[in-house]
Structure 1
Amino acid sequence: MISTLPVRGWRLAGLMVLAGAFSALSLPPVCALFVLPLGLLVLYRASEDAASWKQAALCGFLFGMGFHTAGLYWLTNAILTRIHQFWWVIPFAAPGVALIIAPLMAVPAVLCRLVPAGWRRILMFAGSWTVVDMARVLIFSGFPWNPLGSDLELPGSIGNALIQPASILGVDGLTLALVLASLALFRGRVAVLSVLVCSVLWLGGGYWRLTTVTPLPISNPRAVLVQGNVSENEIINRQQSVENFRRYLRLTAQGTQKARLMGDDRPVVVIWPESGFPGLLDEDELARQVIAHAAGGASAMIGSDREENGHWYNSLELVDQDGKITSIYDKSRLVPFGEYQPWIIPFNVLPGVLTPGPGLKTWDLPDIGRVGPMVCYEIIFSGSVVARHDRPDWLVTISNDAWFGNSAGPRQHLATGRLRAVEEGLPVVFANNTGISAIYDAVGRETVRLGWGRADVIVSDIPSPLSPTIFSRYGRAIPLSLSILCVLLSFWPTVRRKRERVVMRQKG
């Protein structure tokens, strides 16, 4: 392992920011996994070399600023949709969010100094990193975006195999394993060999699971995913609302006709994304009748705003073949600084705020089966996407990533759905206004995709679910317990040596 870093002062500060930004290249969609060990090594060595715990904390904070600013650069695109109003926020969009969560990376940088160098320090660093990373769900409404475990979501079959342990460990367990492996690579030949052996076993176990799991004998409906590709400016200004509504109707009719021609008696469900309907669907009976006609007798899940008793909701509404709303799901996890304003900002910057819904639910209806509905942001919360004690047979999330342009943002968002499928053993349907729309089976394999910036429709059967996974039963308690165990193990040898010294003194 490198003994010390050759820079100090402002050069060290710059190096920490660059190391953090460099490490962000390991995230989807780039997935340059090889850069992560190098970036973490720089932070780890800087923490060891720091003259005080305050300096170590500063190194961790600066690394976090670089990592999250680079990983969330696409947040600036959301400001550009209202640049005339919020132009002054542009320099602070990504760095502002990073400023809130970067201090968490100072924690492992400080705590690892409490134990002797070597394996104990690596265990402390990895365990405390994972614990504080999991704590991001406690910041405002939660912001667990871009956990390091998502780095394993490489494209294709290799990525599918690498993420299979998430069915036991969850994405946070993958984070723990990655941090441990990354730092172990610099512990000598034996450690490198151990990492390589474990990697082969990890990958082999993933391929074994992909080839041996058996779906439950449950027939989910056939999905018609409608991607209208309406820009955010058009949604905000509503200048072409009628034309956009007609586009969605036309694509719906095309999709349902194609679904019927596929044969068999499998029920069909039409899914429009978040912001799919340019109005208040529950107050527009004529629009519902037109949607029901275009759906040709199929049920339709429509994203729409909703107002009730002075409160506004971001909702997913189910319209039956008669144009009646039979079920409503109100988004319960709101986006901080996007859908509500956190208390830390003393002045109003949002044009309006939303009210959170009561929480996750499962719809159980003859035409669509047992489905867990979600809206956009909610899919990113590992272990919190299924209603407790009411497991569905498939998950659907509607989104409008037009805010973030053709950037890493929509692709990182989609990657969260892939991991939720593996964790829960449930197929995930991802319907997005401007893309990317996709369907994942219950082991995270992509079965169909509609790329960014296309107005089109996907028609595909929704795969069957698996039996509940270990993670779906015990949730984040598993990675949290493993992380805490790593922290405790980092102290154990030290405690044993102190006892030996006491014994030796007593004998002397």
Structure 2
Amino acid sequence: MIWILAFLSGLGAAFGLQPYNLWPLSFVALALWLALLRQSKTNRQVFFLGWFFAFGYFWLGLDWIAQAFTHQANMPSWLGFIAVPLLSCYLSCYLALGTLAARYFIAAVHSPFSAWKRANLSTIPIWRWTLVVAGCWTISEWIKSWLFAGFPWNPLGVIWLNLLPVAEIARWIGSYALSAMAILVAGALLSLYEIIFPNRTKRLFPAQGWSRFLPAILIIMPIVAWTLIAGYDVRWLWSDKKLIHLVIVQPNIPQDEKADTRYQARHAAIFTRLSGKAEPYPRMILWPEDAVQTYLEEDPFTRTHLSEILAPRDLLLLGGDALVSNDEGRIIAVRNSLFVLNAKGILVKRYDKANLVPFGEFMPFRHWASYLGLARLVPGDLDFIPGPGAESFNFKDFGSVGIQICYEIVFSGRVVDRFHRPDFIFNLSNDSWFGVSGPPQHLAQARLRAIEEGLPIARATSTGISALIDAEGHIIDQLPVNRAGRLSVVVPPAMQPTFFARYGNRISLIFAMSLLLITLLGRIKAR
């Protein structure tokens, strides 16, 4: 029964994600999970309570992955419904180990010279337990973001986008530390419940001396922080840059039609129409990932045809593939790339995606996987290879543009070239693979990157959601899912480099370690 409750708590917490946005349920579910953890007696119970909670959270949060298998002819679509729980099982291990580490830490602090592995968590003040769980959760999410190529989709802190003034704290502490704040609020709710209903459950918070005020402090802290940030005047942080005119194109071309040669003329007409006509000012026209089905570098005819929609000072940024050859001229791999095309039909820049999708753009352990009949979700016999990393392009009429292709935008602290800070980020994507919940979750994580870096982000996707996001995470304009259209917009100003932009996820880790240190110092003082 306790495992089922932990699983249901994880499901409840995931309902705070997009597109559900039931954020109060997330905090209640987290509080229930913390209460279950405090009643656990063994390391095994703590580990599996953390694992089942994370499993429920990831299962609902990653349900869009099953949709991707319906577009892959090399594998049956039903395999997607197995892939989601399998991936959730793997990701849950990170947070389960983090929860177990929290128990080891708090038990060692309270009983360093005794049988600390058997320490009873119900006797430990709830504020200490909450701080330790919050700190260890943040560290676990950070490890999950880079170990074995990383998969940082949907950190717990993304639920704060429902309360944007709180989410804006990410510019100081990062999005992983926002996850710790969510757990702190859940601990405050649990403490509040214990104060209001002291006789309904076993006393979880020993009210001795000044410590009886700690539940109220835990409750007030997020509210005060929210108020301060909401009223904080950040105008002094803004940069002063020229006007940049963008045309963001969303063609709404279904995934299954893209490679079909019967529709090529119709697709070209859609892109041409939505790109609009020349204006008195220079325009940067943004097309989504996988916008062309040909290799632009080897196809001068297509380059010439595309350049006809551009005025002399316009630029077209679009996604496509680039071939990679060895010294003998044999094609050995492909790159997922962005190309910059000018009005003369010349490719003036190319960016290669650095953070590739495992099992989507490359096949881990390909030799062994082939024996099992597994193939990549992206059709083709060649694996993609990564580029060097985040890069900024400077243009005379448009300033500096940072590029992030699709999935790359979810990697906190890794979306900007720190030595060449751009004026805005262009995130091109192909979200037509990802069902109902994938596109709004992808947009939400782009908003977190905008807040962290203090940079506006323009998103162009195949079927939605295309959007312009300002440096505070507000959506200035957007096109909904499954609707063709264009956004003719002016890029909002960027901020001066934020605290997070200067120091990255070191800040989140320092925040997490500070929570652990407070617990340790509180115990030393108590002695």
CA distance, structure 2, for counterparts of residue 194 and residue 331 of structure 1? 45
Contact 1:431–1:437 at 8 Å: present in 2 too? yes
* Among 173, 177, 180, the residue aligned to 2:181: 177
CA distance, structure 2, for counterparts of residue 337 and residue 471 of structure 1? 31
- 2:217 is the counterpart of 1:194: yes
How many pairs does the alignment contain? Answer: 475
1:141 partner amino acid: A
- 1:392 maps to 422
- 2:306 is the counterpart of 1:277: no
Q: Secondary structure at the match of 1:307?
A: strand
Deviations 1:179-205 (A, max 9, x none): 112112211355564345333322322
Question: How has the CA–CA distance of structure 1 residues 153 and 483 changed in structure 2, closer, same or farther, with 3 Å as cutoff?
Answer: same
Contact 1:421–1:443 at 8 Å: present in 2 too? yes
- 1:299 maps to 315
CA distance, structure 2, for counterparts of residue 482 and residue 287 of structure 1? 51
Q: Secondary structure at the match of 1:76?
A: helix
Deviations 1:447-506 (A, max 9, x none): 111111111111111112111111100111111011012123323344455xx5xxxxxx
- 2:265 maps to 242
Q: Secondary structure at the match of 1:187?
A: helix
Deviations 1:304-327 (A, max 9, x none): 111121220110000011010000
Contact 1:48–1:113 at 8 Å: present in 2 too? no
- 2:363 maps to 341
* Among 300, 303, 319, the residue aligned to 1:288: 303
Structure 1: runs of 5+ lacking an equivalent: 1-10, 501-508
In the TM superposition, 1:102-113 aligns within 5 A as: 102-113=92-103
Contact 1:57–1:109 at 8 Å: present in 2 too? yes
CA distance, structure 1, for counterparts of residue 484 and residue 51 of structure 2? 42
Contact 1:273–1:431 at 8 Å: present in 2 too? yes
Q: CA deviation at 1:347?
A: 1.2
Contact 2:31–2:189 at 8 Å: present in 1 too? no
Deviations 1:185-227 (A, max 9, x none): 2113555643453333223223223664553220142001111
1:338 partner amino acid: G
* Among 149, 156, 179, the residue aligned to 1:148: 156
Contact 1:79–1:89 at 8 Å: present in 2 too? yes
Stretch moving more, 322-331 or 56-65? 56-65
CA distance, structure 2, for counterparts of residue 344 and residue 13 of structure 1? 35
Question: How has the CA–CA distance of structure 1 residues 45 and 201 changed in structure 2, closer, same or farther, with 3 Å as cutoff?
Answer: closer
RMSD, matched Cα: 2.0
Contact 1:275–1:303 at 8 Å: present in 2 too? yes
* Among 23, 34, 42, the residue aligned to 2:24: 34
Percent sequence identity is: 29
2:180 partner amino acid: L
Q: Could you state the TM-score of these two structures normalised by the residue count of structure 1?
A: 0.89
Question: How has the CA–CA distance of structure 1 residues 251 and 106 changed in structure 2, closer, same or farther, with 3 Å as cutoff?
Answer: same
1:460 partner amino acid: V
* Among 335, 343, 353, the residue aligned to 1:331: 353
CA distance, structure 1, for counterparts of residue 222 and residue 265 of structure 2? 54
Stretch moving more, 351-360 or 319-328? 351-360
1:23 partner amino acid: A
1:58 partner amino acid: F
In the TM superposition, 1:60-99 aligns within 5 A as: 60-82=50-72, 85-99=75-89
* Among 404, 417, 422, the residue aligned to 1:374: 404
- 2:226 maps to 203
CA distance, structure 1, for counterparts of residue 367 and residue 93 of structure 2? 19
- 2:205 maps to none
Question: How has the CA–CA distance of structure 1 residues 292 and 367 changed in structure 2, closer, same or farther, with 3 Å as cutoff?
Answer: farther
Question: How has the CA–CA distance of structure 1 residues 415 and 110 changed in structure 2, closer, same or farther, with 3 Å as cutoff?
Answer: same
Q: CA deviation at 1:111?
A: 3.0
Contact 2:247–2:286 at 8 Å: present in 1 too? yes
Deviations 1:432-454 (A, max 9, x none): 11011001112122111111111
Stretch moving more, 304-313 or 115-124? 115-124
Structure 2: runs of 5+ lacking an equivalent: 111-123, 196-212, 326-330
- 2:114 maps to none
Question: How has the CA–CA distance of structure 1 residues 344 and 52 changed in structure 2, closer, same or farther, with 3 Å as cutoff?
Answer: farther
Q: Secondary structure at the match of 1:438?
A: strand
Q: Secondary structure at the match of 1:347?
A: helix
2:71 partner amino acid: T
CA distance, structure 2, for counterparts of residue 322 and residue 270 of structure 1? 15
Contact 2:248–2:460 at 8 Å: present in 1 too? yes
Q: Secondary structure at the match of 2:468?
A: strand
Deviations 1:379-410 (A, max 9, x none): 111111101211111111100000012x1110
Q: Secondary structure at the match of 2:131?
A: helix
Contact 2:173–2:511 at 8 Å: present in 1 too? no
- 2:122 is the counterpart of 1:122: no
- 1:477 maps to 506
- 1:228 maps to 251
1:79 partner amino acid: F
- 2:334 is the counterpart of 1:312: yes
Question: How has the CA–CA distance of structure 1 residues 84 and 345 changed in structure 2, closer, same or farther, with 3 Å as cutoff?
Answer: closer
